[in-house]
Amino acid sequence: MAGRFNRIAQNLRWLAFLVLVGIAAPLFVVAAPYADYVIDARTGEVLHSQNADTRLYPASLTKMMTLYITFDAIRRGEISLDTEITVTADASREPPSKLGLRTGQRIKLRYLIRAAAVKSANDAATAIAVGLEGSVPNFAARMNRTAAAMGMTNTSFRNANGLTASGHMSTAHDMTILGRHLLYDFPDYYNLFSRRTADAGMAQVRNTNSRFLDSYSGADGIKTGYTDAAGYNIVASAERGGVRIIATVFGGTSTANRNARVSQLLNNAFGQAPRNAAFRAPAPLDYSRAQASGSSTAATTQSGAGKTVRVNGVLLTSVRPPQRPGSGGAPETVVASASVDAVDMDAAIAAALAAATVVTANIDNSPEDDSLAGPEIKLPPPASPAADEGDDEGGASEVMAAAEPAPEPETAFILADVATMGMSQNDTPPPVDDLETAALMVPPNVVAALIPPTAPVVEPVEQVVAVSAPLIELSPEPPVLAQDTSALVTRVSTSGGLAYGISVGRYGSSYEAERALLVVALSDSAALVGAERKIVESRGRYDATFVGMTQEMAELACRRLQARGTSCSLIGGNNG
């Protein structure tokens, strides 16, 4: 009997202890630091600031940078909205909020974008990062280079989704800069952030920012974020009577508290901002800032250390494939005026590839009806983008490279074959010995960068053709093919650690292998800058390979290609 009373008394003591802990615990919770920053989006003028340069956890505001880079990659032609991304185990294991992706699943980029922008799905953001850069650390490095180029001086990213990580920090000031760039650099995609729901392929997802969007007149974005360490964050944009304000809040104590604070900031700003103000577009991204801060960058992609391509001029017509011979109409010409200030060959080739909007015919540089498009957002027209930032129609800046002299007949046929992928099989291809006809069907910059005279089929590691294609200025006249500047290399150099390569398949003929190499090179130029195409015959089969790479370059290229569904294996070193 006494034992029973003792047990009851012990249980009562535990119960009292738990009640006291429940009452006292909130007293020991330290709220996340508060910060805010408000600007007139039309001019960039600061209207209010509190702790704006204090480095804090941004939480899912991070996804604004993930999406900015994704939109930029689409515009450049690195990837398309319909590219299928293979979900990695790391992406599928991300904690909520999440779309519910499964390891090994393939899903179109457009659905991942919607999930990241609308639902703030952590797994979708990670899948995007791996699909674009092969790994989260590589993508984070690109995020940091882009942030530095924007002038986000107090930001450092460690992942693509904003989950709390050591060193993953930003400020209210920096996130406002990013929000303004999203608004004006990609107005065609900006409507995503005001959608209440979106089709993410696997599910219909709801906007995490619906309460604010529904409650504040004129609000149309941009992004919310929450973690225990960050508190409740938001970058909000609203437009009333031609006045647009962007306000950022870090460290709200609840959704309601955050929304009330940002609403009050916006109200005050609308009362303070002038009705009429001359629009000043955000400054173009300056990648020299990234170099100065110790980060390497290229104006075209993430590849290369300190490589920049600067082209002065305005593209007057986008690069589109001309009509096939015999289909009627004259071939379309590119009319532009440009001068090359400084060019690194690898970066120039990368820019030329990014400018090629043909060959991989499903590259989608702008939203379409039911994909990412939505109600038109009335924004002041952005200034013409800097040439090294690309143009909205055709991809990256136009850098016209001189083509190599006439390739062998088989290569001429491959040119025509690759250029017309997706067209009717009943169409008659150009004669295999008609170089001019074949070359017209591929943009000249692609011919110069990717189509050297076909390398002879050789035994392993015997002969490789290396390309050295000088650049020429764009002119209103059709480009003239340059003289032969290629050099024959008799053996692959192993100096500098360039003893690795990748294989993208084994084929029954050299023609099929060459065609596969061209398609892969065009689909992911960034990962293959500096690599050389080579076909190796072995027992009547033809290996399509890229050689002259470091082990790190080869592994990264394989990860990127595999993420997009292309077979790839490492060669060199201990892999033969």
CA dist 454 → 181, 400, 510, 511 (Å): 44, 21, 10, 10
Q: How far apart are the first and last CA of the chain?
A: 80
Asked if residues 287 and 308 have their Cβ atoms less than 8 Å apart, the reply is yes
Instruction: Please tell me the distance from the alpha carbon of residue 446 to that of residue 430, in angstroms, as a whole number.
Output: 18
Instruction: Please identify which of the residues 63, 98, 119, 534 carries the catalytic annotation.
Output: 63
- Per the annotation, the verdict on 63 as an active-site residue is yes
Asked if residues 158 and 170 have their Cβ atoms less than 8 Å apart, the reply is no
Instruction: Please identify which of the residues 97, 120, 237, 397 carries the catalytic annotation.
Output: 120
Amino acid residing at 56: L
Both tokens assigned to 80: 């398309």
Asked if residues 441 and 321 have their Cβ atoms less than 8 Å apart, the reply is yes
Instruction: Please tell me the distance from the alpha carbon of residue 81 to that of residue 363, in angstroms, as a whole number.
Output: 7
Non-local CB neighbours of 12 within 8 Å, separated by 6+ positions: none
Handedness of CA 519, 521, 522, 527 (dihedral sign): positive
Of 239, 205, 223, 241, nearest to 96 by C-alpha is 205
Asked if residues 125 and 132 have their Cβ atoms less than 8 Å apart, the reply is no
Of 515, 505, 77, nearest to 319 by C-alpha is 77
Asked if residues 223 and 236 have their Cβ atoms less than 8 Å apart, the reply is no
- Per the annotation, the verdict on 60 as an active-site residue is yes
Non-local CB neighbours of 457 within 8 Å, separated by 6+ positions: 510, 535, 536, 537, 542
Of 292, 282, 468, nearest to 379 by C-alpha is 282
CB atoms within 10 A of CB 102: 12
Instruction: Please identify which of the residues 60, 80, 170, 503 carries the catalytic annotation.
Output: 60
Catalytic residues: 60, 63, 120
